[in-house]
Structure 1
Amino acid sequence: MSFLRNRNVQCLRLASKRYLNTQPSYYGHIPLNWFENAFLAVGSAVMSLADPRRGDMVAALGETTAGPALPKLREKMLASAEGRQVLKARPRVNSKTVDMVALSKLPAGTFGQSYFNWLERCGVTPDTREPVRYIDDPELAYIMQRYRECHDFYHCICSLPVNVESELALKYFEFANFGLPVAAISAIFGPLRLDSAKRSRLFREYVPWALKTGGNAEPLINVFWERRWEQNVEELKKELRIEDPPPARWGKPLSEAAREKRRRELLQQASTGTETP
């Protein structure tokens, strides 16, 4: 009997080391046991639904509910030559790694200039993504980070602006393409924030497009976007099998965005004493 008790104690200790890992696996990693993970998943879900602007809670929800979806995405990346290159290089997307000046000088119609114009038109930057903290495996953590940091590329390639309806349409697209539960959670509960007219249009026009296109498109997790800057955006969409969505409601026309950009440049030149070219 004492032998069996000792054997059980050893098994429990091994299980504790395996499932209750307390040593960070990478910078910023916060290890969680199963109870902590479940508690954070529920709490972040409640907070995210109460205030979708809480990016930290949305990020925590995505990480704590990822489950087997991330290993499946890794399998897709390992099965793709381009996906393997992404895993090997582990590029990051932010204003330090992406040369915006170079993108602005690319020819019209390239993906790089389209992305630059999209950022200008929507008034956003690539620096708003939360770092991954709660995923134990470093490689899976990077895959989640990659999915998160490339979110604006999905907006750009799908010709969708930044507003509630477009974000929800993109969540349906992401769930069909990536299979991550956080996209499904957002897609299910997000429409409650819309009025009846917008909700009706979302389900009548955008959801069928998102599920069909997201399901038929190539796995976007495999795309090495940073090596596609000079590619014609329409050719890229054709290669990835991405169809345009129904016309979206943009906050400002592209011409207005260009004027606003020029105004900021002139103000910056005036403050630094440089001449306008």
Structure 2
Amino acid sequence: MADPNTLSLPDNASLLTRLHVALQCLQVLKNDPANPTCGQLINICLDLNVYASLVQRLQQSEGGRRMLSERPSLQGEDLDLTALERLPEGTLGHEFARYFRDNKISPFKTTLELKNDIDFIGKRYRETHDVLHLLTGYGTDVMGEMELQAYALGNLGIQTAKLILAFGTFGQLKERQSGFALPTYLQRLKAAYQRGRASKLFLDVWYEHHWETPVATLRAQLCAPAVQMN
């Protein structure tokens, strides 16, 4: 098995090189699903073109260029969760801080050097994962995580989400952990995917400017309505 401490992606790596590194990362993640280095590397390997397109989109607006220049961060060392939790209930800041407390987890932390704008967008995608749980309302259980991946696939075309959905669905079929019949499970993934396609792109939002905004307000602005499932 590859040593995650030595894995890296060369600048201007070819598709073949990216696939090779991604396969090495998958070997590590099979035994260490929470490995931060491989989790980030596989995103860059598979979604380099997606992130490059998002960079081009951001470069076309003043706000986007500012984001690329200042590179805001939602990492733990850049957040004061105690202060955010003091904000009124229902605001993004309060609910974001409570989300980490209730789930007994810590904010995402990158272990990779940000060498360019594409690296920043890859980091931004991963660190907005928890914000997206709040905005979409998808839970942190297995079903909710799969719905969030389907939403990200529909919204941004994230290729890593395809991989996670494929492996996740296979695992559900094998172990029957989802608690849903297969048709219902697939129907919920399809609904989440379509909702993502119908929603505004979530990755170019400066969430740090919206801590005092109610989650319900941001949800209405950014997310298409959720389909009510029977």
Q: TM-score range by the shorter chain?
A: 0.7 to 0.9
Matches within 5 A, 1:42-57: 42-49=23-30, 52-57=33-38
8 Å contact from structure 1 (residues 178, 219) kept in 2:
yes
Query: Which of 210, 214, 217 does residue 232 from structure 1 map onto?
Result: 214
Separation of aligned partners in 1, 2:45 and 2:38: 10
Number of aligned residue pairs: 216
Listed as ranges, the gaps of 5+ residues in structure 2 are 1-6
Q: Kindly report the root-mean-square deviation, in angstroms, between the aligned alpha carbons of the 2 structures.
A: 2.6
Identity percentage of aligned residues: 21
Q: Which residue of 2 aligns with 1:130?
A: 110
State the 1:55 CA deviation. 3.8
SS in 2 for 1:230: coil
Q: Which residue of 2 aligns with 1:117?
A: 98
Separation of aligned partners in 2, 1:51 and 1:97: 26
State the 1:161 CA deviation. 3.1
| TM-score of the two chains, using structure 1 as the length reference | 0.69
Matches within 5 A, 1:121-270: 121-126=102-107, 128-132=108-112, 138-194=116-172, 195-196=175-176, 197-198=179-180, 200=182, 201-205=184-188, 207-244=189-226
| TM-score of the two chains, using structure 2 as the length reference | 0.81
Q: Which residue of 2 aligns with 1:31?
A: 10
SS in 2 for 1:107: coil
SS in 2 for 1:68: helix
Separation of aligned partners in 2, 1:49 and 1:176: 26
8 Å contact from structure 2 (residues 150, 190) kept in 1:
no
Separation of aligned partners in 1, 2:221 and 2:148: 19
Counterpart amino acid of residue 124 in structure 2: R
8 Å contact from structure 1 (residues 48, 57) kept in 2:
yes
Q: Which residue of 1 aligns with 2:41?
A: 60
* Structure 1 ranges of 4+ moved more than 6 A: none
Listed as ranges, the gaps of 5+ residues in structure 1 are 1-27, 248-277
Separation of aligned partners in 1, 2:141 and 2:63: 31
Task: Determine which structure has more spread, i.e. the larger CA radius of gyration.
Answer: 1
Separation of aligned partners in 1, 2:195 and 2:64: 20
8 Å contact from structure 1 (residues 169, 202) kept in 2:
no
Counterpart amino acid of residue 204 in structure 1: Q
Q: Deviations over 1:17-59 (max 9, x none)?
A: xxxxxxxxxxx97526435433212222344356533443332
Between 1:80-89 and 1:47-56, the stretch displaced more is 47-56
Separation of aligned partners in 1, 2:61 and 2:217: 20
Between 1:31-40 and 1:207-216, the stretch displaced more is 31-40
Counterpart amino acid of residue 186 in structure 2: F
